[in-house]
Amino acid sequence: MVFFVYRHLGLARCNIGYMKQILRLLIILPLLIWVACEDEKSSNSDDDTLYEYELHSNNRVSSLLMSESEYSNWVSNDGFSDGSIRLPLINDVYNKFPDKYDFIFFVLNEPFIPSSLFYYGKLIGVSNNVQGIGSNSYDYTSDYGSSGKLKAVMQLTGLEYLKYGPALHELAHQWANYALPTHSVDNVGSNLTSYPYWGHWGYTGGSTKGQLGGFKQSSLIENGDNSYTVDSFGPFANGGNGIPFNELELYLMGMLPISSVTPFDMFTDITSLAVDTLTFDFTLTATRTTYTPQSLENLLGERVPSIGSSQKDFKLLVVVITDTPLSDDEWNKVDATAEWFSKKGDDGTYLYNFWEATNGVGSITIEN
Ligand SMILES: [Zn+2]
């Protein structure tokens, strides 16, 4: 509607210019028409963009067409992680799309992760105004061309990684883990020195194994002398979209009250680690810190906004970055992942879409 009005005004200005020309020098007429047409052209968002965009007919996913050399540079030199390349590109996205998205996800038009990139997914924070999660408030939205709405940008390095890759994990990073001073170790053995492991749960328990790592608290066995055994787990991840968010993650995301977070342990200063060759159980010697809802709130302060008013529905823009227009097969594949991830219901498979991973409390809308 706004676009239409702008175009209409442009035409009106053109008519006034034309009337003046009739009354004045006919020789300037072609020039004025040219200026007016340029003006009208500049109000057309398609022609205002650096890149060519295509919007898929199902109104979920879009594509951004780069030249072969630009795409090669984006993939080979990880343009997404380079602010001097990422920021102009996202500003260009806002020349095409409205500023209504909480997250922008770029998806590479690659069947698998390119060998030049070392991540399946990456989230870069743009703004945070949630208090009580251990993160400062920050707002870089204006650098990206957003007026405060954009929370983060993500890149997924394969065409179907929204479904099979680490989309839930990366989203969790928007809110977690700034909360706990976790530790990890790189090897098994004794006489180990663990190191701070910010960003992931490391050797921390949870109601279930976490999207950001950590073991299942209910599997903990106390061996005595600061020795503990837990079921097999990953310190930074536990199987992509194959697991839901755990209670602590849901609390930090604003999807669960703190009173519903079951007490759990965090292990730091890990001095020994053994992994059972048959069961893959972990046995470690470490310092144990138990967190309860009360001690969590003492540490982090109250979450603002609280569960009653926290945002639970998020809008995503999904843009495939490519150097060739997408084939029907590629469109179908990526559109199916977007439909799946944003489905507000049980998908009937072992995988968790966002709605399932949040126990039906949170939802995502993907629209272009
Ligand atoms: Zn991570």
Cα(13) to centroid of ligand 1, in Å? Answer: 53
Cα(238) to centroid of ligand 1, in Å? Answer: 11
Cα(197) to centroid of ligand 1, in Å? Answer: 11
Residue corresponding to tokens 């069961």:
279
Cα(199) to centroid of ligand 1, in Å? Answer: 7
What is the enclosing helix (H) or strand (E) of 339? helix 328-341
Task: Name the nearest CA neighbour of 179 among 137, 210, 138, 134.
Answer: 134
CA distances from 104 to 23, 101, 235, 351 (A): 52, 7, 27, 22
Cα(223) to centroid of ligand 1, in Å? Answer: 31
Cα(33) to centroid of ligand 1, in Å? Answer: 55
What single DSSP character describes residue 28?
G
Cα(204) to centroid of ligand 1, in Å? Answer: 15
Cα(211) to centroid of ligand 1, in Å? Answer: 8
Cα(166) to centroid of ligand 1, in Å? Answer: 9
Cα(212) to centroid of ligand 1, in Å? Answer: 6
Residues of the chain with pLDDT under 50: 1-45
Cα(352) to centroid of ligand 1, in Å? Answer: 17
Cα(122) to centroid of ligand 1, in Å? Answer: 8
Stated pTM of the model: 0.86
Cα(200) to centroid of ligand 1, in Å? Answer: 6
Contacting residues for 263 by C-beta, under 8 A, at least 6 apart: 217, 290, 291, 292, 293
pLDDT of residue 198: 84
- The CA distance from 123 to 17, in Å, is 50
What is the enclosing helix (H) or strand (E) of 64? strand 61-65
Cα(239) to centroid of ligand 1, in Å? Answer: 12
Show the DSSP H helices in 1-115 as ranges. 2-23, 29-42, 45-48, 68-76, 83-96
Q: Give the distance from CA 249 to its chain's centroid.
A: 15
Cα(169) to centroid of ligand 1, in Å? Answer: 6
Cα(23) to centroid of ligand 1, in Å? Answer: 68
pLDDT of residue 47: 61
pLDDT of residue 165: 77
Cα(360) to centroid of ligand 1, in Å? Answer: 23
Cα(247) to centroid of ligand 1, in Å? Answer: 17
Cα(106) to centroid of ligand 1, in Å? Answer: 17
Task: Name the nearest CA neighbour of 228 among 216, 237, 211, 210.
Answer: 216
Contacting residues for 156 by C-beta, under 8 A, at least 6 apart: 105, 106, 107, 108, 120, 121, 162, 165, 166, 167, 170
Cα(173) to centroid of ligand 1, in Å? Answer: 7
Largest CA distance in the chain: 99
pLDDT of residue 7: 26
Classify residue 206 by burial, with Cβ atoms within 10 Å: 0-12, 13-18, 19+. buried
Q: Which residues pair with 53 in a beta bridge?
A: 64
Residue corresponding to tokens 């809308």:
365
